Amino acid sequence: MCGIVGIVSEKSCVNEVVKGFHSLEYRGYDSSGVAILSDKGLHRTRRVGKVASLDAALSSEPLQGGLGIAHTRWATHGIPNETNAHPHWSHSSLAVVHNGIIDNFELIKADLLATGYGFESDTDTEVIAHLIHRNRQQGMTLTEAVRNAAGRCEGAYALGVVDETQPDLLLAARKGSPLVIGLGSDENYI
């Protein structure tokens, strides 16, 4: 069980993302992380333990940006450590948060390894990030790439996806797992 939150906003979303993962802390105590898109690129901060450790890291390195995703983790694949903490990314340009289990992740991982992708973590989530990235490299739009990746993933899950090339787009997908979407006048949420 994990908690995911995402915000795309016309103003900085960092404080709202932090509030969001605090409200979801009960869904995972092993680790937490955030990815924020600023004008300098996609920044990721992850920590082991409760979200207080992530708060401390964010206080020492303040971020600003209108697009962000965050995650609280209860480990299902891979031990609780910073490498396995979410968000996971591919080529430092596309980040994914995930709640659920991808039953066929080992099959997808083998396919990605055969095409040159490397893996840092032991999680099923990292395969999603690389699969979306590979789809993008094959000419798919971000929406098409996420839809295609979701179609290949077996299991029950919910995803949040951000790509540094699309600062106004927060994508979400789900299969057999709940995901709440909020629409506002200046921001949208998952």
SS (H, E, C) the chain: CCEEEEEEECCCCHHHHHHHHHHCHHHCCCEEEEEEEECCEEEEEEEECCHHHHHHHHHHCCCCCCEEEEEEECCCCCCCCCCCCCCEEECCCEEEEEEEEECCHHHHHHHHHHCCCCCCCCCCHHHHHHHHHHHHHCCCCHHHHHHHHHHHCCEEEEEEEEECCCCCCCEEEEEECCCCCEECCCEEEC
Query: Which tokens is 61 given?
Result: 């390195």
> In this predicted structure, what is the pLDDT of residue 74?
61
Q: What is the tens place of the pLDDT at every residue in 134-151?
A: 999 999 999 999 999 999
Range of the domain at 29: 3-189
Question: Exposed/middle/buried for 128, CB within 10 Å: 0-12, 13-18, 19+?
Answer: buried
**Cα–Cα dist 182/90, whole Å:** 27
Beta bridge partners of 187: 9
Taking only Cα atoms into account, the Rg of the chain, rounded to an integer number of angstroms, comes to: 15
Examine the pLDDT at 105 and tell me if it is beyond 80: yes
Q: What is the band of 9 on the pLDDT scale with cuts at 50, 70, 90?
A: very high
**Cα–Cα dist 168/94, whole Å:** 14
* 2-11, 56-65, 92-101, range with greatest mean pLDDT: 92-101
Q: What is the tens place of the pLDDT at every residue in 140-189?
A: 999 999 999 999 999 999 999 999 999 999 999 999 999 999 999 999 99
Query: Which tokens is 69 given?
Result: 């995703």
What percentage of residues in the chain have a pLDDT greater than 70? Answer: 91
- Assess whether the previous peptide bond of 62 is cis (omega < 30° from 0): no
What type of residue is 151? G
How many domains does the chain fold into?
1
> In this predicted structure, what is the pLDDT of residue 69?
95
| CATH number of the domain to which 124 belongs | 3.60.20.10
Strand pairing of 155-163 and 88-90?
unpaired
